Structure 1
Amino acid sequence: MIVEEEAYASREAWAHSIGLSQAVHFELQTHREQVYAHESQLHAHQTQLQLQGTLIQTQHQVHETRSQMQQAEMAELRETNRKRKGQMAELLALREQQRRARQPGPDVRVPDHQDASRDADSHI
């Protein structure tokens, strides 16, 4: 009878330890799955941060390129403006020379042909 009681107690202890072992196994499995889920989320966040970093770098490069292009365009416009001012000064100097060439001196008695129509009108 004692042997049977001990055998029964042993079977109960064995069954209880099997149950505890399975519970620990399932709990461990749950923790593993949670760790894998957290690692997956961490990897996704790392990837997102890398993409955002790449986007920021690309945007910075685009702004830098635009700035360089605008500076080059402004330099080109300044050069064009400088050339046109020179051309304008030359044209004004040429017009002044032409105007002076058309003006009669004190000993010239023949009127300028451009002034002929005004002279004709003044005689009428």
Structure 2
Amino acid sequence: MNQTPTPCPCGGFPAGASYAACCEPALTMQEWPPTAQQLMRSRYTAHVRGDADHLFRTWHPATRPADTDPEPGSEWTGLTVDSVTAGSVQDDDGVVEYTARYRGPDGQTDEMHEVARFVRRARRWMYLGPADVV
């Protein structure tokens, strides 16, 4: 019996990729995302799945807050990558602009827009923070 693959919460990379082929290897520590965009997508998926460990280990220690737990009661409903600057397998830094949509604990829908900066640390991509802050 064929089972339909579970779609990736981030929308899949490449577009439409299943969770198993997209973000699952990063969240289960099978492999580290090779680009800044893929790390950002895995972090979005970690928010969807409530995976605080992945958020912690992918946040640069210089800017990481003490509490990296996802916001309780929020339901993440969609991700759009608006632009990507650098952040490839050959780069040491990159910027990913994205918009994440969610429904808050009060049931209201909203979105979060960020221009996020990523850097390599020990050959691994790490989230540094909003580009206008760091």
The structure that is helix-richer by fraction is: 1
TM norm structure 1: 0.18
Task: Give TM-score scaled by structure 2 length.
Answer: 0.17
| Greater RCO (CA < 8 Å, at least 6 residues apart) | 2
- Of structures 1 and 2, the larger Rg is shown by 1
